[in-house]
Amino acid sequence: MYAAASLDVITETERLLVVTTPGKGRGVIAKQAFAVGDIVELVPVLVVDNGDILDETPLGNYVFNWPTSASAVAVAFGCGSLYNHSYAPNARYDKLVDGHGSIRFTAIKAIAAGEEICINYNGDPADQSPMWFDLAATS
């Protein structure tokens, strides 16, 4: 749980804060409580068909694999590309491929105001497959 006064706030929306989190870099903090099943955020995405080119840039660390082709990735707008990973996440994401595409972030545990919202980057909240990066001690 984070105390609002101690946060290095980068930006905020009505319901979310983007902050610098200890040992992780940027992260997303709830400004309000979310119950199980609440939609935390629904964000549009920009799909890039040749995602390999982004691997050579810092943006490559902030994309989602996208199911429209083997090389497609999506940059999520809003706070979408800034949620940190956890093997015990309190939210999940679902890729909505219809139309232009979007990602829906939904609470899978009760989330208190001031709590960091984390997802499992593997897609399935229960998937314990190793990450491609070193995890912060608080993951």
> CATH number for the domain including 114?
2.170.270.10
- Strands ordered across the beta sheet of 39-48: 63-65, 73-76, 39-48, 102-107, 91-96
In a domain, 69, yes or no: yes
Structural domain for 46, as ranges: 4-119
In a domain, 112, yes or no: yes
Q: What's the number of CA atoms in the CB half-sphere (13 Å) around residue 89?
A: 25
Rounded to whole angstroms, how far apart are CA atoms 103 and 88?
Answer: 20
pLDDT of residue 45: 96
In a domain, 95, yes or no: yes
Q: What is the pTM of this model?
A: 0.84
In a domain, 126, yes or no: no
Total domain count, the chain: 1
In a domain, 134, yes or no: no
Rounded to whole angstroms, how far apart are CA atoms 102 and 45?
Answer: 5
pLDDT of residue 129: 59
Please give the chain's pLDDT, 139 residues, in tens.
555 555 687 788 899 999 987 777 889 999 999 999 999 999 999 998 876 777 788 888 888 989 988 889 999 999 999 998 888 999 999 999 988 899 999 999 999 999 999 999 877 666 665 655 555 554 4
